């Protein structure tokens, strides 16, 4: 209650199992997030959202249709910050495995479109920070780079790592 706002931590793990992961094997992680000192004037809010699988939900050209899902989640929470009592400028993404891969993409790309007919998609998708672990990008950096990052970012993403394209 009151006017306090929380820091928002958006957690992502595997497609369609985020809530179960936070209440099961990552229960300690959830407790740690909720106990972050100085999390806004009111504390920390954790959102564990299901998202589409970036390697399975693809279009006819094998392009991941879900690559902007995390960014759109940031836009949604920023637009409705008053409803969720969060600080719209204090949003973090965290995750592991597929969630880390999706988080990497969201951390480096702004998807706001001032001409979009949906007001939510007009707001910034920028986040304050990300802490990600064991991202699926580590298994095939070249595939991840081609499918999730814009070409101008490619030279900065694991430039010395050459993986086997067959993996």
Q: What is the pLDDT of residues 138-163, one digit of tens each?
A: 556 666 677 767 777 777 666 555 55
Give pLDDT, residue 39.
Answer: 59
Q: How far apart are CA 70 and CA 105, in angstroms?
A: 8
In percent, how much of the chain has pLDDT > 70?
71
Average pLDDT for 128-145: 68
Q: What is the average per-residue pLDDT within 85-94? A: 93
* 75, pLDDT greater than 80: yes
Least Cα distance to 45 among 36, 54, 53 occurs for 36
Q: What is the pLDDT of residue 16?
A: 63
The two three-digit tokens of residue 142, written as one number: 């070249």
Which pLDDT score is estimated for 135?
Answer: 63
167 pLDDT band, cuts 50/70/90, is: very low
Rounded CA-CA distance 132/92 in Å is 10
pTM given for the model: 0.74
The pLDDT mean for the chain works out to 78
What pLDDT was estimated at residue 73?
A: 94
Q: How far is CA 150 from CA 22, 108, 131, 144, 153, in A?
A: 31, 9, 21, 11, 6
């Amino acid at each position: 209650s009151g006017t306090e706002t929380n820091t928002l931590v958006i957690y992502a793990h595997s497609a369609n199992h985020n809530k179960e992961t936070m209440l099961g094997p990552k229960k300690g992680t959830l407790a740690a997030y909720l106990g972050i000192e100085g999390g806004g004037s009111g504390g920390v809010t954790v959102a564990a959202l299901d998202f589409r699988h970036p390697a399975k939900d693809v279009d006819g050209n094998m392009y991941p249709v879900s690559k902007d899902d995390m960014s759109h989640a940031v836009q949604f929470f920023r637009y409705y910050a008053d409803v969720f009592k969060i600080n719209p400028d204090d949003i973090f993404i965290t995750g592991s495995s597929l969630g880390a891969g999706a988080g990497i993409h969201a951390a480096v790309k702004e998807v706001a479109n001032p001409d979009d007919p949906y007001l939510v998609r007009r707001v910034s998708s920028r986040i304050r920070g990300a802490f990600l672990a064991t991202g699926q990008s580590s298994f095939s950096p070249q595939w991840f780079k081609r499918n999730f990052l814009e070409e101008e970012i490619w030279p900065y993403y694991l430039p010395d790592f050459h993986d086997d394209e067959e993996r």
